Amino acid sequence: TMQHLFKQIFQASLELQEDDNRKALLVSRKKKPEDTIVDLKGEKVGDGQQRLIMGPCSVESYEQVYEVASAMKEQGLNLLRGGAFKPRSSPYDFQGLGKEGLEILRRTADELDMSVISEIMNPKDVEMAADYVDVIQIGARNMQNFDLLKEAGSHQTPVLLKRGLSATIDEFMKAAEYVLANGNNNLILCERGIRTYEKATRNTLDISAVPILKKETHLPVFVDVTHSTGRRDLLEPTAKAALAIGADGVMAEVHPDPAVALSDSAQQMDIDQFHSFVKNLRDTGLYK
Amino acid sequence: TMQHLFKQIFQASLELQEDDNRKALLVSRKKKPEDTIVDLKGEKVGDGQQRLIMGPCSVESYEQVYEVASAMKEQGLNLLRGGAFKPRSSPYDFQGLGKEGLEILRRTADELDMSVISEIMNPKDVEMAADYVDVIQIGARNMQNFDLLKEAGSHQTPVLLKRGLSATIDEFMKAAEYVLANGNNNLILCERGIRTYEKATRNTLDISAVPILKKETHLPVFVDVTHSTGRRDLLEPTAKAALAIGADGVMAEVHPDPAVALSDSAQQMDIDQFHSFVKNLRDTGLYK
Amino acid sequence: TMQHLFKQIFQASLELQEDDNRKALLVSRKKKPEDTIVDLKGEKVGDGQQRLIMGPCSVESYEQVYEVASAMKEQGLNLLRGGAFKPRSSPYDFQGLGKEGLEILRRTADELDMSVISEIMNPKDVEMAADYVDVIQIGARNMQNFDLLKEAGSHQTPVLLKRGLSATIDEFMKAAEYVLANGNNNLILCERGIRTYEKATRNTLDISAVPILKKETHLPVFVDVTHSTGRRDLLEPTAKAALAIGADGVMAEVHPDPAVALSDSAQQMDIDQFHSFVKNLRDTGLYK
Amino acid sequence: TMQHLFKQIFQASLELQEDDNRKALLVSRKKKPEDTIVDLKGEKVGDGQQRLIMGPCSVESYEQVYEVASAMKEQGLNLLRGGAFKPRSSPYDFQGLGKEGLEILRRTADELDMSVISEIMNPKDVEMAADYVDVIQIGARNMQNFDLLKEAGSHQTPVLLKRGLSATIDEFMKAAEYVLANGNNNLILCERGIRTYEKATRNTLDISAVPILKKETHLPVFVDVTHSTGRRDLLEPTAKAALAIGADGVMAEVHPDPAVALSDSAQQMDIDQFHSFVKNLRDTGLYK
């Protein structure tokens, strides 16, 4: 009983201390109780309405991007993603079109009145990117690229930060803190699956991270169903789970012809699958 | 291009072979396309209607079980779980009431016209258990206790098999195969979280396992939200995700007074929380 | 500074409490400072001399076992392992010869004056096994088969307990505690690799577990280099690491003709490789 | 049997293809059978003699670095490490002295005729760093910071590349390929532990990675025993294992007064412990 009492005190003090540490963080909901809303040309991400960010894995051509973007427009979607700078495990894999890719995204988005989300990997490209993108994505491999986080934090371009391949939720929040601590409050978090022993999926979608991040932080939280599963047949079911659990939105990849895609061909939807994906989410009532 | 061609052939043959192997399994949907339905006193688990299995972590007394069970009855729930034989990491932790616990569960269930689900750990107890329980649970730690699987397979009492702490989905299906191969087709699968590096939750709920298991097998698939998260505040959001992604049901723990529970006090709901849990699931329309 | 002080006190009390818990365990070196020595017909396992436990993965025939065992005898090795009851992921894989396998092991060992180590999976077989084996192995999949641990603990036949596929070192020690708490002090621990995301090896050998277990417990600690790596080319290097870090011995598999082995053919040495394995360990001076 | 035959062909073609892919890589031993030797002012890293890289976690002052460096000199060690740019999970942790830190390392190394190893995190700092360091370290968090790899690859300053927190050995080799593919052959690999569920150590030292990397590549392979274990009491045993398994060297951290270190105080040796660490490695004959 003496020991039991001691344990209780001990446990309580442990929780107190952790609470204190988290309260101190700018990302913490204890520091700022109200939800952060990131305004993307009128789309208020994080306002309670759930949204879809979609587009091809890699930007390959204007025609390719335009075809996906106009299908999105048909469905009333305005948040267009596409990779111009691609982080690839091997130096011999397609590395992306770079700045030319950003130009294609911007041109398409301007023509269709959409917003552009694209990944930046080098701190020196952050300033240039602001001319082309509405949201700078910092990818999983760069979640702890602290110079990149600091640079992105020192501009006002909104940032979408993906969770690292094996980052704890605590490390994820601290990486986010680098952005806010440098002055940029326009931050969106994105769960994208973590690395585990299971090989049936490319990564393991940590769906519980969503309610934890919504509770601990005031930031919008998205779920990337493409990279977390790596399987086309799991995009729709996991998107439903993400919407049901309270994510602010879902990110998924679409390609006019996935079979010839320059990257990640096995996990992108084609245009028909995209339309049925959106329709099915609407039919369940989970997506409005 | 020669190499590319070779890769395609190679990939195709790989998939063919895996398909063949899985088709051969009795658990495979390719072997039996229609859904397996497990009839528990009229509750047809796996028939498309989603169900809740609830009850205390450990059976502690008749009063405790009865209080939880009658709250369940109020909500129209008939599937009562409770632990009599408890697998505990340390020999000095409460090991369960054993057969006395089974008697308490049976008595309560008979009085309230419910079905009992309870874990059995020793092959020699399987036959005895059939007198008390409607479903024998085989827990995560025993997923590859092959003698137990064989014994449970050689009776007709329905079995609920939980995924092992670090079992792949493939190993999970093969463990299930032990039950069917020994003649028992009344099998329910249960995802309960896997062990990863993340410590914000007790385990990491592998929500993607649900659609994979539904696609690959014809068996009902449940999600244990209590053990996968280990956090009371995550029970409701993860239950929503599980229902949205197509699980046949959700399992969760309820205790009249979690603070004094003999096991897992931090993760059980009390009676009030239980009522609001069920109500909230109903309000979303995900649970009917 | 106030906070820093608090942290120090906090940290200190945390360590104190953990120390206390571990001191209380029978396996703890704090409870019993001197090394436990398990006497196997005169081979005093844990006495400071490092030993090799070898033999085929599965017992297939008397001829097969005898061929391996006599090669071992040539090298002065007396600890013969072999699988009679085999835990296999699929019910359609070879399940072992059962009791007949134990008889083959015993006959061979008696003829050559060796000791037998073999796995038992069912609590009901523990008593019978004592007639055939000198050491009952409890395998990784059964590390938390608590009825088996209790049964093995209630006899005096020495036990070799393998670490579970994803067991923490703390859980491993508590599983060991089940054996000692039931009265059997003749226990050997065996690290055999843990499950991680890395696929270059079958499991990931957690070599650091050896010095931790030697420090925390008074029990002999072995390393199974066959199951931790799953690769024949890694048996010798990892055995060197195990001996250098202070393991009490190494376990590895040998088969007269690995290519036709009924289980685990890719990871067993043949007789020539076995002789060169032992010779090379001797040449480095790590093995005497 | 038909199926068995097919499996064999299939397996063979699988291995052939993987072999081909790896042969194509510049890091592959199939491409260049002889060992790569990195010359650091006469210390030929990778020539068969095993070496120690040591020094403080963070550079804090000239006095601190000098004290450690002269202790190293006493033991005949010439490879001095120290962190000037520190990757830290939280923006509020000590971020290192930056360029001033590099100046301190250079000054000390010049006075004592030693070589300097220090981490660089931003591609733009690679050129500047060449004026101060003899080896640019690319840390675990930046293993897939591809712009940094490319930049380091385009200079001739030797590079020490650490394995990412959850990188596969295959990804590690491909990250190394970025450096060689850009023209820099002076590359040393460093295993530093991977992230797993086990919490008794900071990371899990994947000791098997050493013989695999030595077999697959022609590059020198080190083991960082400090970050892989995170425990002072495990530095010596794991260093022995690393030397026994064939690593080209061991990296470990030393601080004049670990208790007041600005980072990683729990895992650094003090000067006395350093002397006894080196002496004990020499006494075993594993280190010459």
Query: Nearest-CA neighbor of A172 among A214, A235, A229?
Result: A214
Band (A32; pLDDT cuts 50, 70, 90): very high
pLDDT of the residue at C286: 87
* Best residue of B208, B229, B235 to probe chain A, by most A CBs closer than 10 Å: B208
d(CA B101, CA B65): 10
Q: What's the rounded mean pLDDT across residues A253-261? A: 91
Note whether residue B126 is domain-resident: yes
B139 shares a domain with B3: no
Residues in chain A: 288
Contact B206 A215 (CB under 8 A): no
Touching subunits of D (3+ CB pairs, under 8 Å) are A, B, C
Question: What is the average pLDDT score of chain B?
Answer: 94
Residue B5 lies in a domain: yes
Q: Across the interface, which of A14, A17, A197 has its CB nearest the CB of C196?
A: A197
Q: Quick one: pLDDT at residue D8?
A: 64
Contact yes or no for C147 and B195 at CB 8 A: no
In terms of domains, do A162 and A86 share one? yes
Encoded tokens for D133: 């360091």
Question: Confidence class of residue A8 from pLDDT cuts 50, 70 and 90?
Answer: low
Asked if D207's CB is within 8 angstroms of C207's CB, the reply is: yes
In this predicted structure, what is the pLDDT of residue A247? 98
Specify the amino acid at residue B6: F
Among the partner residues C3, C10, C195, nearest to A197 by beta-carbon distance:
C195
Helix (H) or strand (E) holding B19: helix B2-24
pLDDT digits (tens, 9 = 90+) for B236-281: 999 999 999 999 999 999 999 998 888 877 789 999 999 999 999 9
Residues D22 and D149 in one domain: no
Residue D5 has pLDDT above 80, yes or no: no
**Do A88 and A227 lie in a common domain?**
yes
Residue B145 sits at the chain C interface (C-beta within 8 Å): yes
| A140 or A265: which leads in pLDDT | A140
Looking at chain C, which residue has its C-alpha nearest residue A6?
A: C17
Q: Which residue has the tokens 């006495």?
A: C47
Which positions ≥6 away from A232 have C-beta within 8 Å?
Answer: A258, A266, A267, A268, A269, A273
Give pLDDT tens digits for A136-170.
999 999 999 999 999 999 999 999 999 999 999 99
How large a percentage of chain B has pLDDT more than 90?
86
Q: What is the 3-state secondary structure (H, E, C) of B53-119?
A: EEECCECCCHHHHHHHHHHHHHCCCCEEECECCCCCCCCCCCCCCCHHHHHHHHHHHHHHCCEEEEE
How crowded is residue A252: how many other Cβ atoms within 10 Å of its Cβ? 27
Say yes or no: B141 and B184 in one domain: yes
Distances in Å between the alpha carbon of A81 and those of A125, A217, A219, A260, C181? 18, 24, 20, 19, 60
pLDDT value at residue C217: 98
pLDDT value at residue C81: 98
Instruction: Flag whether A271 is in a domain.
Output: yes
Q: At what angle do helices A99-112 and A62-74 cross, to 10 degrees?
A: 30
Q: How far is CA C74 from CA C71, C79, D57, in A?
A: 5, 13, 50
pLDDT, one tens digit for every residue, chain C (288 residues): 566 666 666 666 666 666 666 668 999 999 999 999 999 999 999 999 999 999 999 999 999 999 999 999 999 999 999 999 999 999 999 999 999 999 999 999 999 999 999 999 999 999 999 999 999 999 999 999 999 999 999 999 999 999 999 999 999 999 999 999 999 999 999 999 999 999 999 999 999 999 999 999 999 999 999 999 999 999 999 999 999 999 999 999 999 999 888 887 778 999 999 999 999 999 988 888
D196, D199, D244: residue with CB nearest C196: D196
Domain match, D28 and D130 both: no
* Residue closest to D227 by CA, chosen among D119, D139, D142: D139
Token pair recorded at residue A45: 């991400």
Q: Would you state the pLDDT for residue B7?
A: 65
Smallest CA–CA distance from B12 into chain D, residue: D10
**pLDDT of D16 over the 70 cut:** no
**CB distance A269 to A286 below 8 Å:** no
- Mind telling me how many Å the CA of A148 is from chain D's nearest CA? 8
D124 at B interface, C-beta within 8 A: no
Which of B166, B207, B243 is the best substitution to test chain A (most A C-beta atoms within 10 A)? B207
Quick: pLDDT tens for B40-50. Answer: 999 999 999 99
Mean pLDDT of chain A: 94
Rounded to whole angstroms, how far apart are CA atoms A121 and A126? 8
Asked whether residue A193 is domain-assigned, the answer is yes
CATH number for the domain spanning B163: value is: 3.20.20.70
DSSP annotation of C39: E
B17 touches chain D (CB under 8 A): yes
Question: Hey, are the CB atoms on D200 and C170 less than 8 Å from each other?
Answer: yes
Does the pLDDT value for residue D144 go beyond 80? yes
Question: What is the three-class DSSP state of B18?
Answer: helix
Query: Nearest CB to A147: which of D121, D166, D178?
Result: D121
Residues C175 and C78 in one domain: yes
User: Rounded to the nearest 5 degrees, what angle is found at the Cα of A66, between the Cα atoms of A63 and A72?
Assistant: 150
Same domain for B97 and B6? no
Both tokens assigned to D259: 């208790």
User: CA nearest D195 in B: which residue?
Assistant: B197
Range of the domain at C2: 1-30
CB contacts of B6 in chain D (<8 Å) are 17
C12 touches chain A (CB under 8 A): no
Integer Cα distance of B34 and B47 in angstroms: 10
Percent of chain A's residues with pLDDT above 70: 92
The answer to whether position A288 is within a domain reads no
Give the residue from A119, A146, A194, A203 with the most D CB atoms within 10 Å of its CB, the best one to mutate: A146
- Is 90 exceeded by the pLDDT of residue D246? yes
DSSP, collapsed to helix, strand or coil, labels residue B16 as: helix
- What band does B17 get if pLDDT is binned at 50, 70 and 90? low
For range D193-199, the mean pLDDT: 97
- Chain A interface includes B234 (CB < 8 A): yes
User: Is the Cβ–Cβ distance between A182 and A150 less than 8 Å?
Assistant: yes
Which of D15, D197, D202 is the best mutation test for B, with the most CBs of B within 10 A?
D197
Q: What is the pLDDT of residues D104-140, one digit of tens each?
A: 999 999 999 999 999 999 999 999 999 999 999 999 9
Task: Specify whether B107 is located in the same domain as B15.
Answer: no
Under a CB-based contact definition with an 8 Å cutoff, are residues A213 and A22 in contact? no
Question: Do residues A183 and A205 both lie within one domain?
Answer: yes
Distance from CA of B122 to the nearest CA of D (A): 28
- What 8-state DSSP symbol labels residue D27? T
> For residues C74 and C101, is the Cβ–Cβ distance under 8 A?
no
**Structural domain count, chain D:** 2
Distances (CA, A) of C270 to C24, C71, C105: 45, 10, 19
User: Are residues C225 and C205 in contact, defined by beta-carbon separation less than 8 angstroms?
Assistant: yes
Q: Do D2 and D101 lie in a common domain? A: no
C284 touches chain A (CB under 8 A): no
Residues C4 and C56 in one domain: no
Q: Looking at residues D249-267, what average pLDDT do you find?
A: 89
CB contact under 8 A, A166 and B197: yes
Position D260 scores a pLDDT of 86
B vs C, Cβ pairs < 8 A, gives 63
pLDDT score for D259: 87
Rounded CA-CA distance A171/B144 in Å is: 34
Put simply, the answer to whether D91 touches A177 (Cβ < 8 Å) is yes
Q: Does D21 touch chain B if contact means CB atoms closer than 8 Å?
A: no
Rounded Cα distance between D60 and B96, Å, is: 56
Task: Check residue A259 and give its pLDDT.
Answer: 87
Residues of C in contact with D228 (CB under 8 A): 208
CA distance B243 to chain A (A): 8
Q: What is the DSSP string of D157-223?
A: S-EEEEPPTT--HHHHHHHHHHHHHTT---EEEEE--B--S--SSSSB-BTTHHHHHHHHBSS-EEE
DSSP element (H, E) containing B41? none
What are the chain C neighbours of B144 within 8 Å (beta carbons)? Answer: 87, 89, 141
